[in-house]
Structure 1
Amino acid sequence: MNAVPQRDAYDVVVIGAGPAGLAATASASAAGLSTLLLDENPGPGGQVWRAIASTPVTARDQLGADYWAGAELVGEVRASKAEIIHRATVWSLDRHLEIGISVGGASAFVKARRVILATGALERPFPIPGWTLPGVMTAGAAQTMLKSSALVPDGRTVIAGQGPLLWLLAAQILRLGGRIDRILDTTERKNYLAALPHAFAFVTSPYFMKGLAMMREVKAKVPVTTGVTELTAAGEGQLAGVSYVAGNRRETIPADLLLLHQGVVPNVNLAMAAGVEHRWDELQLCWSPVINGDGGTSIEGIAIAGDGAGIGGANAAVVRGRIAARAAIEALAPAAAAKLTPMTALKAALAQAERGRAFLDTLFRPARQFRIPADDTIVCRCEEVTAKDIVDAVAIGATGPNQLKAYRRTGMGPCQGRLCGLTVTELMAQARGKTPQEIGYYRLRAPVKPITLAELAAMPKTDDDVKAVVRG
């Protein structure tokens, strides 16, 4: 592993060391292509296999077989000739395949003949009243602490929301001796009926038996309340309780920790900043890149693999990574491609890995009231902008997320819209009677991650750079 790139240009640059990025790196490097893998974390694995090379949780049954499945792929990449740089912030990507990287306080540009974005997923915003209180965090953040440091809650803990990760986290917390007082399931009852047409594919998929066993394991130890339609985190300066409504019952549970989760969505910021075309996915309720069967995008040379291309899970991400890499190999080293697994076989494997996904997407489609808040609920955490602020801005002329910046500065904080973007789009669409596609998303530009002015000033300057700002 290197601290800085060893060259100025590569055949393939892979961004993200989760399942898709690791698979793409292994395949491209094995075919003899010069390959650079960039990731902002201290080690490989992404969120799914986070800290797999360093976790203190060594009892394999505690994190589960799906977690440890990543160890072999990590070993394959580390044994390859690929350059690997961790703690690397990728803050720029343009249509000329030039990538801006910051490592250890210094920035540089590298060029690529092909770029594979494997930036993975983000947790969907869950903007309920009180979600900014200390003591409220996402399930993904809790899982990061669990995998990286074996930290589990020991105070009064409530987990609220829906989706596979919620149940996986609950099982992992319990296996490590952590405390969970209640699970509040926000899955809408109507979703069960809507998901029925996809039930056969799900029952015959790899997800079914694993998911069923995990839910049984958790329900044997933790009270679960289903049909939750309202949710509020309460407290003065610190979480003290969680109020909810289920059916005709309203209750407040004392709590020191509330973990929220209602699914994951593609992390699209870098791809959008590069100019890749995206569309609103009405099933997964998020922005997804427009890609072809090989992961190729609207920009020649940029492919997207894994959950950044649409949520499909770790197994699908690995196959998507290999498909994107194979397409790059076919373009850059056709002779090497002839010796690899045929693309038809990879696509058949992808179809199998994605089997049952439509059932999950339909069943765990989050309810409107948990996606589109009202009144004084904060939407943009960075700038403390409420739902009412946004609706009021629409009333006086804000037409979309980019115009809203001038009224309320939403999306202009350190997170660059990652925590509010989807909510802003849907809230404005509702207020204006438009579709999310018509409303659009933030116009994203480099740097897509915070870097210092000192880093930019210290970057090597070419004659063209100087002429761009000094005219005479």
Structure 2
Amino acid sequence: MTTMLKRISDIHALDAFYDLAIIGAGPAGMSAAAEASNAGAKVVLFDENPAAGGQIYRGIEHNTTARRPFLGTDYWRGKEVLQAFIVSNATYVPQALVWSVEPQDGGDSNSVALRVSVGGKSGIVSARRVIFATGAMERPMPVRGWTLPGVMTVGAAQIALKTSGLLPNGRVVLAGTGPLLYMFAAQLLQAGGKVAALLDTTPGANYAKAAPNLLSFLFSPYALKGLSLLLKVRKSVPVYSDVTEIAIEEKDEAEAICFSAKGKTHRLAVDSVFLHQGVIPNNNLANASGCTLVWNDSQKCFQPQLDDNGRSSVPSIYIAGDGSGIGGALVAEQSGRIAALAACQDIFPALATSLASKIAKLQAQARRVERGRAFIDALYLPAQAFRAPADRDTIVCRCEEVTAGAIRDAAACNIAGPNQLKTMFRCGMGPCQGRLCSSTVTEILAEVQNRAPETVGFYRLRAPVKPVPLSEIAALPQTPDAVFAVTGEQPENSPTI
């Protein structure tokens, strides 16, 4: 089949204006690009990675069938999504960092300015509408020793497996909660790896809380696959249930993991520890672009406030996939298509009526796919002790090495919220820009001050939302107002955005 996708690796080869810009090439982004292109929109898709697929379908473009058995049928479904993207008329820019999205005139006009870094050079691309398909990130799991060599997240280890077929050596321990924990354990076993133990931190009380949603789960796409994974892993791996008080010991690197399970204390020698306690929306770009975020109490995280079509509080910005709320790959595909068609209604008003019926059908499909999600959210809700560590020496902000004790002391002094904490300890001001500590900081402050997390709030972010050299920013054309703010002089005939 003839490839129609246009791949670009030079920022200056891009057109100045597109109907629709999409950020992220996971299931939501690829589906959105294909749908909008088919509707006649001029589409550009930016993605940080060298190949499309996102995290769930990472490496799908180049992986061979030799890896088919251990990556599973759900992974290989990504081939269909990728193929639809490849034969679209979209423009695709891999290894691109979108570090600023600035809606013009309140976001209700025909212009959204995106600042993008490609190959060490930044440029400005405008679009009438933009879809954020930035996906999810792993919820931080701060325990004592989580910054040591030999300790990483399950998601990071899975990237190595998907992209390079790499298996961890030695004594491997997985710890945490959530479907991905068991999925990765099963993938390791299927690929010929070994797992010394799996420490399941799912609170025992969660089973009773999830029970009211059991019936809907049993009729969902998740049920059979989930039960199969559990049985496969428990048959081959020692599983410790209701685990609490995890600490990783070290000399120069991780050498043992200590924990309590059902009232008994354990210590296991390790070479590698992989941590995971679910995923949360990657909100940084939405936050910095002025989109309203709201607290999701069932998933214990902030997520964008959206209408049924994925439109955010900024009218020119749509958000799809796990970045709009955790739902999984199948839901992400549907939400990407819905957001794309809704954006096309804005772009092509004459098509609004014909596209509305298609949107309604996709929304119905998404609701069917989402069946069972409430059970998963209730069952795998991480314990409060792992979301807001009580151990004072546990590092929360890895970039600036700020401990839970320091944050708790500040909270006891009635600080207003995470942004005041920034001024005290530089929490959230390192290279990760708060990705690895924001949710933990919010939950610690809420716990100590006995406040609802939604009233505590989150780090206020501004562009650039990704680290880019100052030289790239300075080389961009500037508005007269920006030049005046820096120099105090009003430029004559200056280049403008």
**For this structure pair, what is the TM-score category when the shorter chain's length is used for normalisation?**
over 0.9
- 1:286: which partner in 2? 301
Are 2:329 and 1:314 equivalent residues in the alignment?
yes
Do 2:241 and 2:262's aligned partners in 1 also have CA atoms closer than 8 Å?
Answer: no
1:324-339 paired onto structure 2 within 5 Å: 324-336=339-351
- 2:164: which partner in 1? 149
- 1:114: which partner in 2? 129
Q: In the superposition, relative to structure 1, how do residues 331 and 142 fare at CA in structure 2: closer, same or farther (>3 Å)?
A: same
Number of aligned residue pairs: 472
Do 2:167 and 2:193's aligned partners in 1 also have CA atoms closer than 8 Å?
Answer: yes
1:31-180 paired onto structure 2 within 5 Å: 31-55=39-63, 58-96=66-104, 97-180=112-195
- 2:214: which partner in 1? 199
Whole-Å separation in 2 of the counterparts to 1:461 and 1:259: 45
Give the C-alpha shift of residue 469 in structure 1.
3.3
Amino acid at match of 1:430: E
CA RMSD of aligned residues (A): 1.4
TM-score in terms of structure 2 length: 0.92
List gaps (5 residues or longer) in structure 1: none
Whole-Å separation in 1 of the counterparts to 2:315 and 2:478: 27
Do 1:14 and 1:38's aligned partners in 2 also have CA atoms closer than 8 Å?
Answer: yes
Do 1:173 and 1:179's aligned partners in 2 also have CA atoms closer than 8 Å?
Answer: yes
1:385-464 paired onto structure 2 within 5 Å: 385-396=402-413, 398-461=415-478
Are 2:8 and 1:2 equivalent residues in the alignment?
yes
1:311-390 paired onto structure 2 within 5 Å: 311-336=326-351, 342-374=358-390, 375-390=392-407
SS in 2 for 1:94: strand
Whole-Å separation in 2 of the counterparts to 1:185 and 1:396: 35
SS in 1 for 2:117: strand
SS in 2 for 1:240: strand
> Residue by residue, what CA displacement relative to the aligned partner does 1:404-463 show, whole Å, maximum 9, x if unpaired?
111110000000100000000010111212111111100100001100011112223455
SS in 1 for 2:237: coil
Are 2:28 and 1:20 equivalent residues in the alignment?
yes
SS in 1 for 2:143: coil
SS in 1 for 2:103: coil
Which stretch of structure 1 is more off in the superposition, 170-179 or 287-296? 170-179
Amino acid at match of 2:251: E
> Residue by residue, what CA displacement relative to the aligned partner does 1:172-198 show, whole Å, maximum 9, x if unpaired?
111111121101111111100000110
- 2:252: which partner in 1? 237
Which stretch of structure 1 is more off in the superposition, 212-221 or 392-401? 392-401
Whole-Å separation in 2 of the counterparts to 1:366 and 1:443: 25
SS in 2 for 1:112: strand
Give the C-alpha shift of residue 350 in structure 1.
0.5
> Residue by residue, what CA displacement relative to the aligned partner does 1:368-424 show, whole Å, maximum 9, x if unpaired?
111111211000000000011112223345321100111110000000100000000
> Residue by residue, what CA displacement relative to the aligned partner does 1:36-90 show, whole Å, maximum 9, x if unpaired?
0000001000000001112356332220111010112212211211000000011
> Residue by residue, what CA displacement relative to the aligned partner does 1:150-175 show, whole Å, maximum 9, x if unpaired?
00112100001111111111111111
Give the C-alpha shift of residue 237 in structure 1.
2.3
SS in 1 for 2:66: coil
Do 2:414 and 2:449's aligned partners in 1 also have CA atoms closer than 8 Å?
Answer: no
TM-score in terms of structure 1 length: 0.97
- 2:263: which partner in 1? 248
Query: What fraction of aligned residue pairs are identical, expressed as a percent?
Result: 49
1:246-285 paired onto structure 2 within 5 Å: 246-285=261-300
Amino acid at match of 2:417: G
Give the C-alpha shift of residue 467 in structure 1.
4.2
Do 1:56 and 1:148's aligned partners in 2 also have CA atoms closer than 8 Å?
Answer: no
Amino acid at match of 1:146: L
Whole-Å separation in 1 of the counterparts to 2:409 and 2:469: 34
Whole-Å separation in 1 of the counterparts to 2:338 and 2:170: 45
Whole-Å separation in 2 of the counterparts to 1:176 and 1:339: 47
